[in-house]
Amino acid sequence: MHSGILKCGCLLALGWALAAQAQEDGGAPALQLDAGPSEQPVIVEPPEPPPSFVEEHFHGTRVYTSTSHYEVGLVLGQGGLLFADGVAPIPLNGVVLRERNGILSYLITVFAGQALSSWAIASSAVEVKNVRTSSSTNLRYNADGSRTAVTTTTTTADVRQLKSQEQVDRETEASNKSISGGFVGHTFGDLAIYAEIPALSGGRPAGAGYEFTFGGHGELFELMHLPVVLDVGVHLANVRVKRPVSPGIGGPFLYHSAGGLLGRLHVPLTRFAAVSVEWVLNFLSVGYLFDPEGLLADGSRPLSPLRFTLDVFATDFVFLRGEATFGMLGVSDGRLGVSLTAGVRL
C-alpha cells in the first residue's frame, strides 16, 4: 500500500511540474499543424529612372537603323566631281533629300533587286556554248547599173535547257519573297539636286544635275554602344557645267556621269557625331583608264569619287554635315571638293 501511495505521489508531482513549465512558456503547448508553405515576402523593384535629355534626343548612328525618317538639307560646295586644269573650283550648290527605311526607297530597292534576281535565274536556266559567227557578202545590181554590196551576218550556238519553266517560276517566286521580306526596315535613298544659284556661286558658272543612290543597309557591330552601319546601293549621276577654258576639254559642257555601285561606312564617334567613308565603283570610268584624252575631248569626267564625311547631330532632328570629295588623286584645280550641308530630319 505504501508503494502505491508513493507512485501516485510521484505522478502528481510530475504533472504539477509540467503544468508549471507550461504556464512559464505562456500557456499550454499548442498542437502544431502543417499549414503548407509559408508566403515569401514580395520584393518591389524600384522603377527605372526616365531617360535623360541626351538619351532621348541624341541617338547618334542609331537613327540610321532604328527609325524611319527623311532628311532635307541645303548643300553649299565646290569641286570634286567637276574640275579642270587652271580653273577655280567649280561651285556645286543645291538641295539634298535623303530617306531612311521609308516606303519609296523600299519599293525602288525591292523592284531593282527582284529584276536582277529574275534575270540571273533566267540566265542560269540555259547553257550557251560554241557561239559561232559567219558573214557572207553578195552583190546586188541596181537599175542604174550600179552595184550594192549586201553583207549578211549569221550567229549560231549550242543551247541546252538546264531548268524547266516551272523550276524557273518557283525559284523566281521564292527569291522575290526573300528579297521583299529581307529589305523591310533596311533601305535608304539619297538624292542631291544641283542647280545654278548666282547668289551662292558668286556669278561663276556652277554645276547642275543630280546624284541618286538607293539600296540597303545593315548593322555590322556596335562601337561605344552605337551601331557601325554599312550602306550598299546603286549609284547614278549626271552633273554638268558650261565648258571652262582649259586645255584638252572639248564639247559644250564639262560633265560627270556615273552608273555603278556605292559602299558607305558610318562609324560613330559619340552620340553627337559620326564619320563616314564612301566610294563609288563607277562602271563608266573604265574607259577613262584607256583613253582619258579622248573622253576629256568630249568633256567627260566619269570618275569614281571617294568621300569622307563628318556628321554632327544637333539632336536627332537637326544635322550639320561636312564633306570632302576626291574626284581624282591630287588637290589642285578643284580635284579636292568640299561641301557643307545643313538640314532637318523629320
Say whether 244 sits in a helix, a strand or coil: coil
Q: How confident is the model at residue 39 (pLDDT cuts 50, 70, 90)?
A: low
| pLDDT tens readout for residues 98-124 | 999 999 999 999 999 999 999 999 888
Domain ranges of the chain: 58-102+185-345
Rounded to whole angstroms, the Cα distance separating 239 from 301 reads: 10
Distances (CA, A) of 230 to 171, 172, 264: 28, 27, 6
With CA atoms as reference, report the closest residue to 116 among 175, 156, 74: 175
With CA atoms as reference, report the closest residue to 207 among 238, 252, 246: 238
pLDDT score of 16 more than 60 = no
Enter the pTM of the model.
0.77
Chain position carrying cell 557643307 = 340
| pLDDT tens readout for residues 274-321 | 999 999 999 998 887 788 888 888 899 899 999 999 999 999 999 999
* 82, 339 Cβ separation under 8 angstroms: no
With CA atoms as reference, report the closest residue to 175 among 127, 114, 227: 114
Q: What's the mean pLDDT when you consider all of the chain?
A: 86
User: Which residues partner with 282 through β-bridges?
Assistant: 260
User: Which residues partner with 306 through β-bridges?
Assistant: 279, 326
At residue 34, the pLDDT reads 52
Rounded to whole angstroms, the Cα distance separating 149 from 92 reads: 53
- Average pLDDT (45-69) is 87
- Average pLDDT (40-58) is 82
As a 3-state breakdown, the chain gives helix, strand, coil percent values, each rounded to 5, of: 25, 45, 30
Alpha-helical runs (H) found in the chain: 2-24, 53-57, 63-66, 103-123, 165-182, 198-201, 286-290, 292-297
Greater confidence, 34 or 187?
A: 187
Range name among 61-70, 184-193, 270-279 with the lowest pLDDT average: 61-70
* 84, 334 Cβ separation under 8 angstroms: yes
* 240, 252 Cβ separation under 8 angstroms: no
At residue 7, the pLDDT reads 53
The radius of gyration of the chain from alpha carbons, rounded to an integer in Å, stands at 40
Query: Is 2.60.220 the CATH classification of the domain at 58-102+185-345?
Result: no
Rounded to whole angstroms, the Cα distance separating 205 from 255 reads: 13
- Amino acid of residue 274: A
Whats the size of the chain, residue-wise?
Answer: 346
Say whether 204 sits in a helix, a strand or coil: coil
Taken in order 289, 292, 294, 297, is the CA torsion positive or negative? positive
